[in-house]
């Protein structure tokens, strides 16, 4: 951290990516008070500005990861409740700082992060991405967010999820999260990998319960995102009015038309399966969970391809846990197997911003937007691998008009 807050930052001679058009403009960019104040050729430097010459560096909007768990300091999620919250918070701060260093200036946390973490980041106490939080996810008893093994009835002291059953129960739970300022409500609408007692192909919550959660979120002008794997689970959630589907690895063509009809988003998280398969056990994933990874590993890429060809709005997500967070940028390389680089970049910028209801504010280099940006030493439209290796190819990260990392 080198710049005093509030000092204007003028970046000269960058190639600024217009994410919508997929083209670059060779211009200067001036950030004042955290926002992009002006851009164009030969922008005049305010007297107190810090001026940097980017020498033709490639400038992209700051990256947005729309599916993270910043409090997932271990892959053994059930053990989080036995840890000191101070210890979890300390590691969360580290994880968030490392995300910022990888170019992620904004994240959407979909279970775990709360108003306290978001406030600490906003106040500058924690160095990290801006956090759009949902608080604790809603899970039915025995659902994906139920951390208990089959031999115990006792709930842990803390969990990334809140167990709620029945229409009244889920309404109350959603209201609790909304009263803390949650940007969205996360529901577990199918089984998952990192849960001890459910099957990946199970569907969770009744339609009445799902509709009640959507109803509560919409009443507060918020939206619902749902963890769902199979077509059955995805389609039920979409029919209930859920706005974003997380994972979706086992969806089919019937889901694609529903996504379009409902103008919903899909947030694939392919890198996490690859990481869980190769390193999961080393970082605490229990054996039973590790065996479930194969069910979803190979289908994820074809689901992404089907959704992409069908025109579904796609946002970038990673869902990494514990020591596997360091693979956050590998998702760029994985998606580029089935999508052109510009579309993968849109997923991590403009489309993610739309999902966050922050289009025009985030995920763009337009004047007026938050001055969040990254600089690459080559053209990611020609080589997406540059984004996958930020330590080597991302010399500068700027957040709110302040240099957050430089090489
Ligand atoms: Zn997740």
Q: How many angstroms is it from 213 CA to the middle of ligand 1?
A: 18
Catalytic residue among 114, 198, 319, 372: 319
234 touches 248 (CB < 8 A): yes
Beta-carbon neighbour count of residue 109 at 10 Å?
Answer: 30
Pairing of strands 58-61, 9-18: parallel
Among candidate residues 163, 165, 185, 183, the one with its CA nearest the CA of residue 174 = 185
Q: What is the pLDDT of residue 2?
A: 40
Give the CA distances from residue 118 to residues 36, 70, 125, 183, 275, in Å, rounded to whole numbers and listed in that order: 23, 11, 10, 11, 27
DSSP label of 43? P
Q: Is 166 left (phi over 0), alpha (psi -120 to 50) or beta?
A: left
Burial 265-289 (b: 16+ CB within 10 A, else e): bbbbbbbbbbbbeebbeebbbbeeb
Q: How many angstroms is it from 383 CA to the middle of ligand 1?
A: 28
Q: How many angstroms is it from 227 CA to the middle of ligand 1?
A: 7
Beta-carbon neighbour count of residue 305 at 10 Å?
Answer: 14
Q: How many angstroms is it from 10 CA to the middle of ligand 1?
A: 37
Q: How many angstroms is it from 74 CA to the middle of ligand 1?
A: 13
Does the annotation count 292 as an active-site position? no
Residues in the chain, overall count:
407
Q: What is the pLDDT of residue 5?
A: 58
63 touches 348 (CB < 8 A): yes
Give the CA distances from residue 261 to residues 210, 219, 244, 251, in Å, rounded to whole numbers and listed in that order: 18, 22, 13, 16
Name every residue whose Cβ is closer than 8 Å to that of residue 177 and which is 6 or more positions away in sequence.
134, 135, 136, 138, 162, 185
**Sites in the chain below the pLDDT cut of 70:** 1-5
Catalytic residue among 76, 186, 198, 295: 186
Q: What is the pLDDT of residue 1?
A: 39
What are the tokens at 13?
Answer: 């001679």
Question: At residue 4, what are phi and psi to the nearest 5 degrees?
Answer: -65, 135
Give ∠ CA 234-240-241 in degrees, rounded to 5.
95
Does the annotation count 319 as an active-site position? yes
Q: How many angstroms is it from 134 CA to the middle of ligand 1?
A: 12
Place of tokens 């580029």: 336
């Amino acid at each position: 951290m080198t710049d005093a807050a509030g000092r204007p930052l003028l970046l000269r001679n960058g190639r600024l990516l217009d994410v919508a058009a997929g083209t670059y403009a060779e211009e200067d960019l001036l950030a004042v008070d955290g926002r992009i104040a002006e851009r164009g050729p030969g922008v005049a430097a305010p007297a107190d500005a810090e001026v940097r010459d980017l020498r033709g560096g490639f400038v992209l909007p700051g990256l947005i990861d729309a599916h993270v768990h910043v409090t997932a300091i271990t892959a053994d999620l059930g053990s989080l409740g036995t840890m000191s919250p101070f210890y979890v918070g300390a590691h969360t701060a580290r994880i968030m700082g490392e995300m910022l260093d990888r170019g992620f200036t904004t994240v959407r946390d979909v279970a775990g992060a709360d108003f306290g973490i978001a406030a600490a980041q906003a106040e500058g106490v924690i160095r990290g991405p801006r956090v759009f939080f949902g608080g604790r996810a809603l899970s039915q008893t025995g659902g994906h967010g139920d951390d208990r093994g089959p031999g115990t009835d006792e709930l842990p002291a803390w969990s990334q999820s809140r167990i709620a059953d029945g229409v009244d129960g889920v309404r109350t739970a959603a209201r609790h999260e909304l009263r803390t300022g949650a940007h969205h409500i996360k529901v577990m609408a199918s089984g998952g990998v990192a849960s001890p007692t459910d099957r990946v192909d199970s569907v969770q919550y009744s339609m009445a319960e799902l509709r009640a959660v959507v109803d509560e979120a919409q009443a507060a002008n918020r939206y619902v995102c749902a963890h769902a794997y199979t077509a059955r689970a995805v389609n039920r959630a979409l029919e209930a009015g859920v706005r974003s589907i997380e994972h979706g690895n086992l969806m089919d063509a019937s889901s694609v038309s529903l996504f379009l009809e409902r103008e919903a988003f899909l947030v694939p998280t392919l890198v996490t399966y690859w990481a869980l398969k190769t390193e999961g056990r080393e970082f605490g994933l229990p054996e039973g969970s590790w065996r479930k990874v194969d069910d979803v590993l190979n289908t994820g890429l074809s689901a992404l391809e089907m959704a992409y060809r069908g025109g579904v709005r796609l946002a970038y997500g990673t869902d990494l846990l514990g020591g596997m967070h360091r693979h956050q940028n590998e998702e760029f390389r994985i998606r580029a197997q089935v999508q052109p680089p510009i579309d993968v970049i849109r997923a991590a910028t403009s489309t993610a911003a739309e999902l966050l209801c922050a289009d025009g504010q985030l995920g763009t280099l337009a004047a007026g937007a938050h001055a969040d940006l990254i600089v690459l030493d080559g053209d990611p439209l020609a080589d997406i691998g540059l984004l996958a290796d930020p330590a080597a190819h991302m010399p500068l990260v700027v957040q709110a008009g302040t240099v957050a990392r430089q090489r």
